[in-house]
Structure 1
């Protein structure tokens, strides 16, 4: 069971980078399609988290983490707010990930709910995402009320090296004005 979900500002990202890198390595090794291939090592994962620092610092990327009752980091999610003038009302949900050992306990749903609520508070009128077609994540989004917008064939290479389709989803956060 997830004990706590908290926002992670830039100092927290720096302080917990190695823990976040370990989570990413484990999630990719578990077969999740997050934009990385099998064999992702800790250094590569840490460098990816480091690359997010500027966006977290300038507020365009909001990031949350979940921790199990024992304090172990077991999941994360983020959204990126569009900076172009015609898209400032929307944000892209990114990298919802739950440690393989923590799946099936409601962690993904709790992270998703927190990101959606924060989006509404921030005035985001539309969230969107893409996820591997047929994945467990797709079932989470559907059950959370996200609407399928379409599927793109051969969109990304999965951790296994094969091309996979992706399905696009969108949702209007509850309580968002618009």
Structure 2
């Protein structure tokens, strides 16, 4: 098995191929039950609109979008580093929408995406990252394995895509010593 190909997506809200592939990943994850801000069924136009907004934000320098591609260049996973933070938090970034299509799971894509996200955040001058994830899910175990520090759980934080409450667990990771 070859290592996953992780790259920074050049932000273009008009890149219909990337938007369609990212939409496929998002729709697949929501259909599979991932609580990632969307309810099932997720209309394709809703997914496309979401990714167009993400790419506009990336073009404005507010976030970094990383993708994992298969050998044929098809996007199988993605993660975002949200760079835009309040004035009193310029050292911090958020990890958002770490998604891996079911066809790409169990091959190390999630770990590779997270490692690349940490590196991209560090390169962008971030010293602290935070994220939240569904309590008890595979991603929670992945983050702990990658050295993220568990802060705690918030019960009934969000809904599962087909309804019913789920908790979320908050994590952080220090990337370097804060500048004093």
Fold conserved (TM > 0.5)?
yes
Matches within 5 A, 1:1-178: 3-11=4-12, 14-15=15-16, 16-173=18-175, 178=179
Moved segments of 4+, more than 2 Å: 11-15, 175-178
Q: What SS is found at the alignment partner of 2:168?
A: strand
8 A Cα contact 1:120 1:176, kept in partner: no
Could you tell me the TM-score, scaled by structure 1's length? Answer: 0.93
8 A Cα contact 2:4 2:109, kept in partner: no
Instruction: Name the CA shift for 1:85/1:132 in 2 (closer, same or farther; >3 Å).
Output: same
- Segments of 5+ residues of structure 1 without an aligned counterpart are none
Q: What SS is found at the alignment partner of 2:115?
A: helix
Instruction: Name the CA shift for 1:43/1:12 in 2 (closer, same or farther; >3 Å).
Output: closer
Instruction: Name the CA shift for 1:13/1:136 in 2 (closer, same or farther; >3 Å).
Output: farther
- Segments of 5+ residues of structure 2 without an aligned counterpart are none
Could you tell me the TM-score, scaled by structure 2's length? Answer: 0.92
Shift of 1:3: 3.6
Distance in structure 1 (CA, Å) of the matches to 2:84 and 2:139: 23
Shift of 1:53: 2.9
Instruction: Name the CA shift for 1:13/1:33 in 2 (closer, same or farther; >3 Å).
Output: farther
Distance in structure 2 (CA, Å) of the matches to 1:97 and 1:109: 11
Q: What SS is found at the alignment partner of 1:52?
A: helix
RMSD (Å) for aligned C-alpha atoms: 1.6
Instruction: Name the CA shift for 1:67/1:22 in 2 (closer, same or farther; >3 Å).
Output: same
Aligned residues: 177
